[in-house]
Amino acid sequence: MDLLNGPWQRELGRLPWGVVLLVCAIAGFGLVVLYSAAGGSLYPWALKQGVRFAIFLIGALMLAMVRPERWLELAWPIYGVLLVALLGVELVGAVKGGSQRWLNLGFMEFQPSEMMKLAIVLVLARYYQYIPKGYESRPDVLLPALALIAAPVGLVMLQPDLGTALSIMFGGIVVLFLAGVRLWIFGAATAAVAAMLPIAWNLLHDYQRNRVLIFLDPESDPRGAGYHITQSKIAIGSGGISGKGFLQGTQSHLDYLPELHTDFAFATMAEEWGLLGGLAVIILYGLVLAWGIRTAMGATSQFQRLLSLGLMATLFFYLAINMMMVMGLAPVVGIPLPLISWGGSAMMTVMILLGLVMGVARANRQANG
Amino acid sequence: MDDPIRRAQFSRRALLLGAGMAATGSLLAGRMAWLAVFEGETYRLKADGNRVQNRLVPPRRGWIVDRNGKPIAMNRPDYRLELRPADMEDLDATLIAIRGVIDIDLAEELRIRDDIATQPRFMPVVVRSGLTWPEFSACNVRLTTVPGVAPVQSFSRHYPESDRLAHLIGYVGAPTPEQYRADRDPLLIYPGFRIGKDGIERHEDRRLRGAAGAAQAEVTARGELVRELGTRPDQPGETLKLTIDRDLQTYAARRLGDNSASVIVMDCQTGDVLAMVSMPAYDPNVFSTRVPARLWAALQEDDHTPLLNKSAMGLYPPGSTFKMVTTLAALEAGVDPDESVLCTGAYRLGNNLWHCHARRGHGGVHMHRALPLSCDTYFYVMGRRIGVDAIAAMARRLGLGQEYDLPLPGQAEGIVPDKAWKQKRYGKDPKKAAWREGETLNASIGQGYIITNPLQLAVMTARLASGKVVMPRLIADKTMPDFPSLGIPDTHLAIVRQGMIDVVNARFGTAPAARSPVADVLIAGKTGTAQVRRISMAERRTGVLRNEALPWKQRDHALFVAFVPAGAPRYACSVILEHGISGGRYAAPIARDVLTYLFEPERALAVLPAIEADAATRRTERSTSEAAAAIAQENRRMMPSWLKIDIKPPVFEVADPDAPQPPREPE
């Protein structure tokens, strides 16, 4: 491995430490929120989350040391393995009866759909790396790419996990967009989706339909399923500009806010830290995304560009959907806020994602300098 | 390897994507600012609404006591279980949960379901009241987690004298949905909260109600108490002291037996109403909880009108008790009290004869004998001479035809007719509107248009006896009222009072039955027997039917008004027995006993056993005959004549006769 051979100090120095600092700041703030959500206690969430973050951060830095070309080589195998794993999940679920989202590997529970969010970007970046300019939108190029997206999306839909399926689809489409597929195709696709919406509606499960309906009118069922959105909006709104103060949130501490440490962690945070806290989180993430875009634009190969920006778009999707959900702009889908919400698998996904992009950044600094 | 054109295109698209991200970020920031800044106040209130639970502490209702401080309406602790449909999730599951703790029988369950279906959702529904302490504590332990179920400790109203003060005091009940919609007072939907529904309870409700206290507590989403934030104690309602003498009221009510009647006793000097009895009545203790539909129907159908406060709302022709008014009006018009009128038993006006109650006539009658004899002819003559307007004016001075300022939800005004009244009443038809002489004759003996309530008759008597403009009062306050004089010369009043003394005490008086058994205390009074039906000419020729032979509804009303002691009047009284046949024979003894009770209670109480035994037998007779009538009614209901039994023979499935026998169980 080049890691072992290369000069350590120089390689480490090429890592984007500024972004590592940003990520640590976000995760640190997340730990503060989790500490408060537990009623001012490290247990059961904050301490474990902190340890987990430390481990994942080291893991991400190690991933960043891998040369992007290695990922180019591994793209097809990774995608293939994950697709098989998704099928496996489907089969195990069918055998056991009922839906299942993870495989038990003995030492850990592995959720292939989570990893597929990254793998779809990886495989499409690989795919378009070798498509010459001008050929991107040709049907014989576009259709296989769409098939690459459709296969995992379909499998995840069957689980059924709408949030993850949308996330995979978004990642894939963003890569197509960045690769230069003609804009009119996106316009046409949007129109087609709009036309098919009624059909999709019929395919949705009852609970999914309910979520959409309640999103459209949360007050219709303030004690039932609309409760989440209503209480979350109350938490954010009652925080005001500067918040109620650390450990002073009433919505969270008196259990009015459901899922206060996972999907609705942003509301828990906003209640105590107010608009200023919310803007801080948005700006910190904005800086991370901006760094990601800059990294992508400065990368030296189409693969690296597509990979890094596609991954950043996936991160953005997490953030945007979660925040829109807690603010009542999107229906309730089980998407956590990266680095702040309690939960290992989402954090792992995001840290791997950041590790990959950091690797691209490192490789290009190496090339330039 | 890296194509700069491709790179440029990528950069364009990347910037486009970045712009999209930035736009989304600003959208999120803007949305958050909107929630936190512009709608922040709303959401802060909502957060506090979540967090802070305001619990009402309902005030205890004020007691009502009599003039001596004896309780008339009081509070007793009551434990009940209530359902709040608005908070409830699933009725069936809730009922099952409740059944795990206390019994609910089918009838109760039906009632609960019915209430929930018919009442607005914010109204609480009583599951069961009157829980025992062990039941109540079991509910508290095991049902607090069931949403919408609330064990409630409250005070229920208790009326120790049950029906004897029912019409006066009224009863309490749950507020109506309309009242809540009008007031929006959260107290009105507080489980078990009661407001006055009738009588003094209703009229003085605001004073008796008090002010609710509040307790604020911080609670979690599951309703667990985190801490108390503060309490404001409730303010119990005022204790209301009445002028009523509870013992006298009770005595009068018992003395009435099973009559449909009213008795009022007043203090002539202060206007204090000592007793205001209207019988039969309902039990306000039952009315303050829930009234069984059958009882309600029975009360409504009863011809003795137990739901009507006869003392204030009943209207009766005053009959001969009105003759004091005519006498005073005549004196005021300058009639010589010694002028004699010849009574032949009838008085002719035009083609008609106006009869006196004495068929053979009283002979020569002057004013001093007119009242004791109750000679109708004398009053026909005098009434005609002075005219109806003079009579009506005197009647109004004595308090008839008006409502008094009393804490009662309703009083019947009655009618004191005069020419202006008739003009107003029948103004459209000039032929009808003109006052006719014959109507004056009727008015002068208290018949015809004139109609009064028992309270007005008591006030009239009190005014005659004291010579002052006595106003009745029911609520005792410290101030002693000082009434102005009536402005009637004492000589005139003395003639009337002496006449009333003679009614009872003179040899020729109409009410010897009212003579006082108490030494040195003379009762003065006046009988009245008011016709309720027309007596036709044919009937007069063949002889008027005796009242006793008539059905109850057609008998005359018996009236008696009195004051005592005759020399220095202190108490005034009016007694009305609906369809009581004769004032002198039936109403007068009741007045005598009630007034005796004021001086010698033991002597008055001694007459009760016989009367109550008598009333009890009559009541049993009545209920047995009613039951028999109901059975007869039931038996008379027939099926139609074309009734025909219509049953078809049953059809059996016949199996295939050729089918082989299947394997069978060994026999």
| Same fold? B56-241, B243-305+456-478+495-628 | no
**What is the rounded CA–CA span in Å between residue A194 and residue A177?**
19
Q: Which two three-digit tokens encode residue B551?
A: 């059905």
The C-alpha angle with vertex A231 and arms to A228 and A232, in degrees rounded to 5, equals 80
Q: Please name the residue that has the structure tokens 């016989």.
A: B610
Say if residue A257's pLDDT is above 70: yes
pLDDT for the residue B289: 78
pLDDT in tens, A310-327: 999 999 999 999 999 999
**What is the rounded CA–CA span in Å between residue B526 and residue B513?**
12
Minimum-distance CB partner of B14 among A255, A296, A324: A296
Of residues B284, B305, B63, B310, the one with CA closest to residue B171? B284
Average pLDDT (A37-42) is: 89
Say if residue B2's pLDDT is above 80: no
| CA terminus-to-terminus distance, chain A | 21
- pLDDT band at residue B218 using 50, 70 and 90 as cut-offs: confident
| CA terminus-to-terminus distance, chain B | 97
Say if residue A224's pLDDT is above 70: no
> CA of B13 to nearest chain A CA: how many angstroms apart?
6
Q: Which tops the pLDDT comparison, B600 or B643?
A: B600
Q: Which DSSP letter does residue B475 get?
A: B
**What is the rounded CA–CA span in Å between residue B445 and residue B332?**
17
CB B214 within 8 A of CB B231: yes
Average pLDDT (B616-623) is: 87
**What is the rounded CA–CA span in Å between residue B422 and residue B392?**
12
Least confident of A315-319, B227-231, B334-338: B227-231
Fold classification of B243-305+456-478+495-628 is Beta-Lactamase (3.30.450)
Contact A279 B44 (CB under 8 A): no
Nearest CA in chain A to B18: A293
Residue B88: its chain A contacts at CB < 8 A? none
pLDDT for the residue B497: 92
Q: Which helix (H) or strand (E) holds B541?
A: helix B537-542
Long-range contacts of B5-13 (CB under 8 A, 24+ apart): B5/A133, B6/A133, B6/A180, B6/A302, B7/A302, B7/A305, B9/A133, B9/A180, B10/A178, B10/A179, B10/A180, B10/A296, B10/A297, B10/A302, B10/A305, B10/A306, B11/A297, B13/A177, B13/A178, B13/A180
Of residues A136, A352, A216, A220, the one with CA closest to residue B13? A136
% of chain B residues with pLDDT over 90:
25
**In this complex, how many residue pairs, one in chain A and one in chain B, have their CB atoms less than 8 Å apart?**
138
Scan residues 76-115 of B and list those with Cβ closer than 8 Å to A: none
Q: What are phi and psi of B625, to 5 degrees?
A: -70, -35
- pLDDT band at residue A106 using 50, 70 and 90 as cut-offs: low
Q: Which two three-digit tokens encode residue B356?
A: 């006196």
**What is the rounded CA–CA span in Å between residue B196 and residue B186?**
17
Say if residue B512's pLDDT is above 70: yes
Of residues A279, A275, A281, A267, the one with CA closest to residue A243? A275
Nearest CA in chain A to B5: A133
Average pLDDT (B469-496) is: 89
Q: How many CA atoms lie within 13 A of A46 on its CB side?
A: 16
Average pLDDT (A284-309) is: 94
| Cβ of residue B227 closer than 8 Å to a chain A Cβ | no
**Residue ranges of domains in chain B:** 56-241, 243-305+456-478+495-628
Of residues B452, B380, B167, the one with CA closest to residue B282? B167
Q: What are phi and psi of A29, to 5 degrees?
A: -60, -40
CB A314 within 8 A of CB A356: no
pLDDT for the residue A100: 66
Residue B29: its chain A contacts at CB < 8 A? 278-279, 282
The single-letter code of the amino acid at B235 is Q
B184 to B1, B55, B109, B122, B175: CA distances (angstroms)? 79, 16, 30, 12, 12
- pLDDT band at residue B89 using 50, 70 and 90 as cut-offs: confident
Query: Which residue of A129, A230, A233, A250 to mutate against B (max B Cβ within 10 Å)?
Result: A250
- pLDDT band at residue B249 using 50, 70 and 90 as cut-offs: very high
| Cβ of residue B647 closer than 8 Å to a chain A Cβ | no
The C-alpha angle with vertex B142 and arms to B139 and B144, in degrees rounded to 5, equals 80
Residue A133: its chain B contacts at CB < 8 A? 3, 5-6, 9
String of DSSP letters for B51-105:
HEEEEEEPPPPPPEE-TTS-EEEEEEEEEEEEE-TTT-S-HHHHHHHHHTTS---
CB B137 within 8 A of CB B183: no
Residue B13: its chain A contacts at CB < 8 A? 177-178, 180
Least confident of A345-359, B223-237, B299-313: B223-237
The single-letter code of the amino acid at A243 is G
**Average pLDDT, whole number, for chain A?**
87
**What is the rounded CA–CA span in Å between residue B613 and residue B598?**
23
Query: Which residue of B1, B3, B13, B38 to mutate against A (max A Cβ within 10 Å)?
Result: B13
Of residues B369, B379, B383, B385, the one with CA closest to residue B417? B383
Residue A301: its chain B contacts at CB < 8 A? 1-2
Least confident of A4-13, A323-332, B245-254: A4-13
Minimum-distance CB partner of B47 among A180, A250, A255: A250
- pLDDT band at residue A1 using 50, 70 and 90 as cut-offs: very low
Average pLDDT (B183-203) is: 83
Q: Which tops the pLDDT comparison, A342 or B648?
A: A342
**What is the rounded CA–CA span in Å between residue B382 and residue B367?**
10
Long-range contacts of B205-210 (CB under 8 A, 24+ apart): B207/B62, B207/B237, B207/B238, B207/B240, B208/B61, B208/B62, B208/B64, B208/B237, B208/B238, B208/B240, B209/B59, B209/B61, B209/B62, B209/B237, B210/B59, B210/B60, B210/B61, B210/B62, B210/B234, B210/B235, B210/B236, B210/B237, B210/B238
Query: Which residue of A234, A242, A306, A315 to mutate against B (max B Cβ within 10 Å)?
Result: A234
pLDDT for the residue A152: 94
- pLDDT band at residue A197 using 50, 70 and 90 as cut-offs: confident
Say if residue B438's pLDDT is above 90: no
Average pLDDT (A156-178) is: 89
Residue A278: its chain B contacts at CB < 8 A? 29, 32, 36
* Helices then strands, each counted (H, E), chain A: 15, 2
pLDDT for the residue B265: 95
Contact A237 B10 (CB under 8 A): no
| Cβ of residue B6 closer than 8 Å to a chain A Cβ | yes
**What is the rounded CA–CA span in Å between residue A93 and residue A84?**
14
Q: Which tops the pLDDT comparison, B511 or A107?
A: B511
Q: Which tops the pLDDT comparison, A216 or B90?
A: B90
Q: How many residues does chain B have?
A: 667
Nearest CA in chain B to A134: B6
**Average pLDDT, whole number, for chain B?**
86
Q: Which two three-digit tokens encode residue B653?
A: 């499935």
String of DSSP letters for B218-257:
EE-TT--EEEEEEEE--BPPPPEEBS--HHHHHHHHHHTT
| Cβ of residue B25 closer than 8 Å to a chain A Cβ | yes
Strand partners, B54: B216
Q: B66-101 burial, b for 16+ CB within 10 Å, e for fewer?
A: bbeeebbbbbeebbbbbbbbeebeebeebbeebeeb
Q: Which tops the pLDDT comparison, B635 or A135?
A: A135
| Cβ of residue B29 closer than 8 Å to a chain A Cβ | yes
| Cβ of residue B36 closer than 8 Å to a chain A Cβ | yes
Residue B44: its chain A contacts at CB < 8 A? 237-238, 240
Phi-psi region of B446 (alpha: psi -120 to 50; beta: other; left: phi over 0): left
Average pLDDT (B435-463) is: 90
Say if residue A369's pLDDT is above 50: no
Q: Which tops the pLDDT comparison, B231 or A281?
A: A281
CB B81 within 8 A of CB B89: no
Q: Please name the residue that has the structure tokens 């009581």.
A: B580
Residue B5: its chain A contacts at CB < 8 A? 133
Average pLDDT (B375-396) is: 91
% of chain B residues with pLDDT over 70:
95
> CA of A30 to nearest chain B CA: how many angstroms apart?
19
> CA of A293 to nearest chain B CA: how many angstroms apart?
7
Minimum-distance CB partner of A255 among B11, B43, B222: B222
In terms of DSSP bridges, do strands B240-241 and B341-343 run parallel, antiparallel, or are they unpaired?
A: unpaired
In terms of DSSP bridges, do strands B240-241 and B64-65 run parallel, antiparallel, or are they unpaired?
A: parallel
Contact A241 B28 (CB under 8 A): no
Of residues A182, A193, A169, A83, the one with CA closest to residue A141? A182
- pLDDT band at residue B298 using 50, 70 and 90 as cut-offs: confident
pLDDT in tens, B553-579: 888 889 999 998 988 999 999 999 988
Of residues B271, B265, B333, the one with CA closest to residue B484? B271
CATH number of B56-241: 3.90.1310.10
B620 to B298, B612, B614, B634: CA distances (angstroms)? 16, 12, 10, 21
Average pLDDT (A52-60) is: 94
